[in-house]
């Protein structure tokens, strides 16, 4: 018999674990942080990058800098 998944959801727990360890940088593209907060308050409350404010090349460069740290 298959094990029942917890009501909270595995994805929610994984997201929480990544946020606690500061290993997640939200990047919004063709949307806003306000819209993201409506879908995922945890993710939308994080500071991140937006392709409205930065070019895709700038977003990629900033992510590369963060990964290199």
User: For position 17, what pLDDT does the model report?
Assistant: 83
Q: Quick one: pLDDT at residue 6?
A: 55
Handedness of CA 42, 22, 14, 54 (dihedral sign): positive
For residue range 6-50, list pLDDT tens digits in order. Answer: 556 778 788 888 878 877 888 999 999 899 989 888 888 888 999
Q: What residue segments make up the domains of the chain, in order of their start?
A: 10-68
Six-digit token string for 43: 């993710």
In angstroms, the CA 3 to CA 5 distance is 6
Please give the CATH superfamily to which domain 10-68 belongs: Toll/interleukin-1 receptor homology (TIR) domain (3.40.50.10140)
Question: Cα–Cα distance between 4 and 43 in angstroms, integer?
Answer: 26
Q: What is the pTM of this model?
A: 0.66
pLDDT for the residue numbered 68: 83
């Amino acid at each position: 018999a298959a094990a029942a998944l917890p009501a909270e959801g595995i994805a929610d727990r994984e997201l929480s674990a990544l946020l606690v360890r500061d290993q997640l940088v939200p990047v919004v593209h063709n949307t806003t942080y306000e819209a993201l907060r409506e879908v995922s308050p945890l993710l939308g409350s994080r500071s991140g990058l937006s392709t409205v404010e930065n070019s895709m090349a700038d977003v990629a460069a900033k992510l590369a800098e963060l990964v290199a740290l």
